[in-house]
Amino acid sequence: MALVALSLGCEKSETSRVTAAKPAAKSSADRSIALPDEFPRDVPIIKNATLKGTVAQGERMIVQLYTISSIKEAMDYYNAELKKEGWTVENAPSSGDMFLISAKKGRTLCDVTIARDGKGTLIRLAISPARS
């Protein structure tokens, strides 16, 4: 949750809301977990993920997932699947057990933060409009 707080704390104050997750239809990505209705269908969800929480603030949305997949498996998955969905992907330099993948598609940004969490991996998907 610290990552969520840091990512939301640097801009103008807006009312935050925790979005109730609703079941989503399956697609090429794993949509068997409950996601908010507003979650973009072209952002993949790694298999065997557990939804830890969602936060929406204005046009930004953050979804946190937990998986038993390794950090490397998650990195490989998001690099490949985002590209398949038409996203332009850039990898930021890694920092120990934390990795960042930045992707852009049209006027939308998707930042994927992947970090160790106990015996598994925490994945944070931050969706926001691109800045002009």
Q: What is the pLDDT of residues 8-49, one digit of tens each?
A: 333 333 333 333 333 333 333 445 578 888 899 999 999 999
| Alpha-carbon distance values, 128 to 22, 60, 69, 95, 111 (Å) | 20, 5, 26, 23, 9
Tell me, what's the pLDDT at 130? 85
Measured CA to CA, the distance from residue 97 to residue 115 in angstroms comes to 6
- pLDDT at position 107 is 95
Residues 62-116 have pLDDT tens digits of 999 999 999 999 999 999 999 999 999 987 767 778 899 999 999 999 999 999 9
Model confidence at 5: pLDDT above 60: no
Q: Which residue would you say has higher pLDDT here, 4 or 125?
A: 125
Confidence (pTM): 0.75
The CB-side HSE value for 101 (13 A sphere, CA atoms) comes to 24
Terminal-to-terminal C-alpha distance of the chain: 28
Which domains occur in the chain, in start order? 16-129 (3.30.310)
Cβ–Cβ under 8 Å, residues 16 and 24: no
